[in-house]
Each structure stands twice: as structure tokens, then as C-alpha cells.
Chains A and B, each alone.
Chain A
Amino acid sequence: MKYTDGKDIFVFIEQRDNSIQPVSIELIGEAKRIAKTRNTPLQVTAVLIGDDTDDLAKEVLDYGANKVVVVDQSHLKNYDTLNYTNVLEQIIKTYHPEIFLFGGTVIGRDLAPRLSARVFTGLTADATHLAFDEDDLDSNLLYVTRPAFGGNLLATILCSDHKPQMSTIRPGVFDKPEKTDNPQGKVIAFNEHFSNDNRVEIIEKVERKVDMVAIENANIIVSAGRGVKHCLPLIKSLASIMGGEVGSSRALIDEGLIDKPHQVGQTGKNVKPSIYIACGISGAIQHTAGMEKSNRIIAINTDEQAPIFNVSDLGIIADAKAVLTHLESRLTK
């Protein structure tokens, strides 16, 4: 949409089974932080959609939102793309938000794009940094930065001609704010009646079998790439001796040599163990994006130029199989 009287930073409060998702609270905190940086501070308005939401509205205000707009109707209990889009469209048309933030969850990434198409505005996906112009304290143009191509390239995106400026935000990036002792915000009931669009129906919710391999929680990961594909038993043995887990680059997953839950990287898992040993992994950004935050990275590779060495603390130019064989015998001695 186009309007010039944009006000407030709006935050979509995502509830599932009447429980507020952590990312929504993180967004309230971050919205309040950037709101204060303006000459005329912006207000933070939370939008809560659901059924029987009184306690949730109170919780939102406890975290410091200036207002919470509540749409409470029985058919809105569970998230539904079409029904929630209809509600938010009306909220945007009524209140003219300057900015609208969503958690980058499965729900946020389903709802926000549909809504942005509906109201003709721009949407930036999966942002990790928000800022206003430091040189123009009257400008409400939001500089939204997001990782691209596996995380090593950062792009800053603007939406200057359309409102609201929309973004989904990656969960876990911003800190959860403290609760305030004396919440000042107020609840605004949005009383428009919405009819139920039931074209998509939920049949049942199914809990997923827990991933038996939780490499995200491992303290040590011994990770295998193309260079060690012929000595995977050695990798597994070492991981086991060290009380760690086996990780893998995508190449070995694609070849079916290691199961998908072990994959580290952009299309796999993000890990940050205390020790990550990259064996025969060249270190394409697809992989390093998922492990560069590890506390200590040891890389073993025969190629001196392998990019994995750029993110490593200790780089060993050697044949990984020979090194690991020695390491195994030292550890089992």
C-alpha cells in the first residue's frame, strides 16, 4: 500500500496452542530498541490473533509493548493462512503500520508473503539485523539485513515506497527482553467480525519422531567430507571414542554414504560444538555457514588452498586418513 501517515512498529504475536512463540517476544524487544533511536520515538504495537487470548495479551504487555491489538474469535484459535491474512489485511488498512515484523518460523514464512502480496508491499525474508538511518533521526526507513548464499554474504534491503515495511526475522537472533514491573501498554479489541474461510482443513497434528541423532547438542563433532569418503568407519570410531557425533558435508549425504540428520550446513544443521574437526572437507560456504560458530575448529585437508582453513583455528595440511589413524591409536592406547 501507499500511505504517508505510517505509525508504529507492528509485531505479529505468534501463538500456538495458546502459547506465545519465543521469537515474538524477541521481536517486541528489538522493536522497542530501534523505536527509541528516532527523534520522535515510534510506538510498538503487538497484534494477537486467537481464541481466549486474555492471558496472552497481558503477557505481551508485560514485555513492554505499548499496545496490543487483539482479534479474538473462535475460528481463529489455530493458525490458518487465509483467515489470518484476512485479519491482518484489515488491521493494516485500519492502523497504517510503518513497519510490520514477523518471526521467521514456518507460520511467519507462510503468512507474511501472502499478506505482502495482498497489500502490495515489500517483504524481506529471514532478517538478522534491523537499523534506522543514523544520520537522519527523523527517517523511518528501515535497513533490513539478511544473510544470503549460506550466510557469508549479507544483503541490506530497503522498502522505501510501499507500506508497511515488512520483514520476517530469524528466531533466536535477538535477545528476549526482561519483563517490566509496571506494564503501561493497553489492550485494543479489534471487533470487526471475520467469516471463516475453511478451504484448507486441518485433519490432525502428528508429533514427529525425535531425531535420534542430535548433532546440534554434541560437544565434539568429527565431520566428514569427500576427502575421507573411503574411511568413514574410522570417522565413526573416532567420534565415538571422543564421545562426540559424526557430522558431514552435503556431498556424502547426496551420495547416500551418511544419513541426512548428520548434515552440517545451509541445507543441514547449524552446529556450534566446543570442538569441530573437519576431515577432508573443502569448506564451501554452504558447509561453513553451519559450523563457523564452533568454539574451536580443526581442519585436516591435503589442499593447502581449501577454504575450510579460512574458518579454522588449527589447519593441518595432511592426509586426513593417516592423521586420524594415528589419533585413534593414541586415544585407545
Chain B
Amino acid sequence: MNIIVLVKQVPDTTEMNIDKETGTLIRKGVPTIVNPDDLAGVEAALNLKESHGGKVTVLSMGPPQTASMLKELYARGVDECFLISDRAFAGSDTWATSKILSTAINMLDYDLVIAGRQAIDGDTAQVGPQVAEFLNIPQISYIESIDDYKDNTLFVSKAYETYSVKMKCKLPCLITTLSGLNTPRYMHAKHIFNMDAKEISMLTNEDLKLEKSVIGLKGSPTKVFKTSVKDVQKDTVKLRLSPEEAAQKILDTLQKEDGGQA
């Protein structure tokens, strides 16, 4: 089974802060991670390969420094990594991004495409379904478990808000994975040893040959008009207290709250 996994490098949002003056994210010095839903997709692909044979190819779109993340995925055991990187792609919204990714996927052999459900820096969950549409293959999103694979058919469980639905689909298809799907493996010493020898194949628009009208900022149907910071500053009473005083203060607050509710 040839599996292509779409992976995004994202800032670790647990470390993220906002510049209240400019209303922008302070990205400087913030560590990047493999998007959690995507990492579950990589793990799912490696598991399928171990059970049924095949090849796991990772595809990522991003700036050149994304290569370091892809090296890390080699250390986890993926077979081949492609980095799609071109200034012409900068500013792409989900529609244009999906156009670019699907064009690259069409240059490769695949039976199954796996995308993370959503990226933690955008939360749109749109790229998976849009890629599936551009590839003209079925999609099943929000996958919480992969239950079986036989007769070229994938059996999965899709998570709805309060229930799950077991579904099946013949390959080729695209699934989007939730981070809770599995526990990603650690990097393997053998693979770490080899990872620097492994090449990352670069793809630019010279390879994809997409019209300017469907890529980048200009080719994106949606445009960001403005960003603003939600004002969450409160009139905080900030006190440096001894443990005894602090406990008393909390008790006072608890009592006040009880009174307020009565």
C-alpha cells in the first residue's frame, strides 16, 4: 500500500504569546513541532505499512526550514519526504494550499492519503477535504480508529460530537486523523543514525507548473482583511501574600461567590 501523509510544521502554541501592541503573534524563539493530528497520521501510516507492506511518503508545504522536521520523520521510520517550497506559494489560503498539495500528490503513486484533521495554528480542518475533492477521491474525516484493511477496503471509525460511526471505503481514499488515534512512536536509534544520509526531495512551482491565478496570496479566494487582539485584560488584583493570608483571601472569595449565587 502506497501511503502519502500530509504534514505541517506548526508553532508550539502552548508557548505562544501575542504582542498586544501590534496584534500579531510573537513567533520569535517559539519552538516548532509536527502538528499533532498529522503526527497521528504518520503513526497510522507506519502501522499500516508494518501490517500490510508498502511505502510511507510524507509531503509537507512550508518554508525551507521545514526540512528539519522532515528529518525527524525519517528518524521515525518514514520512507521518503518531499518538501514543497516556493515563494510563489506564500500567502496561500486553504483552497490554494490544497490545490498545490493535490498537484504534488498526483505526481506520485498512492492508494491512501492521510491528512491530520486540523493544524493547531489554523484550526480550519479544510485542507483534507479540499485535497480529496481535487484528487477526486472519497474522504472520511475525523478518524479516531483504523479498524481493518482487507480486499483493498479500509475500515475506520469516525468521531462525531457524541457518537462514532463505523465506515468502510475502497481505496483510493483520503482520511483525516485525530491526534487521539494513537501514540506516536519514538525516533528509532537505527533511523536516527541514517537520517542525515536521507535526502529530502524539494518540489517548487517549476515542478508543479501551476498558474499564478490559483496559488499564493493572489490565487487565494479568501484574504485576511485584518487581525486584532481580543482584549482580555482584567482589573486583576495581584497580591504577594503569605500562604496563610492567601488561603484566607481565597476563602473570602469563595464565600462571596456563594453569597452572590444565593
Q: A interface vs B, CB < 8 Å?
A: 81-82, 85, 105-107, 109-114, 116-118, 120-126, 143, 147-162, 199-208, 242, 249-251, 260, 266-267, 274-275, 277, 284-288, 292, 295-298, 300, 304, 307, 309-319, 322-323, 325-327, 330-331
Q: Of A113, A205, A307, A315, which is within 8 A of B239 by CB?
A: A315
Q: Of A116, A267, A319, which is within 8 A of B36 by CB?
A: A267
- Whether B130 lies near A285 (C-beta < 8 A) is no
Interchain residue pairs A-B with the least CB separation, the first 6? A122-B221, A122-B222, A117-B133, A326-B247, A125-B124, A113-B126
Number of A-B pairs, beta carbon distance below 8 Å: 263
* B9 smallest CB distance to A (angstroms): 15
- Whether A326 lies near B261 (C-beta < 8 A) is no
Query: In this complex, what residue of A is CB-closest to B252?
Result: A314
Alpha-carbon gap, A201 to B254, bound state (A): 53
* B211 smallest CB distance to A (angstroms): 13
Question: Which of B14-22, B68-76, B187-195 sits within the interface?
Answer: B14-22
In the complex, chain B residues whose CB is within 8 Å of the CB of A118: 133
Q: Of B13, B36, B163, which is within 8 A of A284 by CB?
A: B13
* B261 smallest CB distance to A (angstroms): 7
Give 1 or 0 for each of B140-183: 1 = CB within 8 Å of chain A CB: 11100000000000010111111111111110010000011000
- Whether A288 lies near B232 (C-beta < 8 A) is yes
In the complex, chain B residues whose CB is within 8 Å of the CB of A311: 232, 234
Q: Of B17, B93, B164, B235, which is within 8 A of A206 by CB?
A: B164
Given contacts A81-B139, A155-B226, 9 further A-B contacts (CB under 8 A): A114-B129, A116-B221, A117-B95, A205-B164, A206-B165, A275-B257, A315-B238, A326-B246, A330-B251
- Whether B163 lies near A309 (C-beta < 8 A) is no
- Whether B126 lies near A123 (C-beta < 8 A) is yes
**Chain B contact residue count (CB 8 A cutoff):** 85
- Whether A298 lies near B234 (C-beta < 8 A) is no
In the complex, chain B residues whose CB is within 8 Å of the CB of A312: 234, 236
Alpha-carbon gap, A298 to B155, bound state (A): 47
With contacts A117-B133, A117-B134, A315-B239 known, is A149 near B180, CB below 8 A?
no
Alpha-carbon gap, A20 to B10, bound state (A): 36
With contacts A114-B133, A152-B18 known, is A313 near B93, CB below 8 A?
no
* B40 smallest CB distance to A (angstroms): 12
B23 near A: Cβ within 8 Å?
yes
Give 1 or 0 for each of B114-148: 1 = CB within 8 Å of chain A CB: 00000011111111111011100011111000000
Query: In this complex, what residue of B is CB-closest to A78?
Result: B165
In the complex, chain B residues whose CB is within 8 Å of the CB of A113: 94, 124-130, 133
With contacts A154-B229, A156-B224, A316-B246 known, is A285 near B125, CB below 8 A?
no
- Whether B13 lies near A106 (C-beta < 8 A) is no
Alpha-carbon gap, A311 to B230, bound state (A): 12
* A238 smallest CB distance to B (angstroms): 10
* A193 smallest CB distance to B (angstroms): 21
* A272 smallest CB distance to B (angstroms): 13
- Whether B232 lies near A114 (C-beta < 8 A) is no
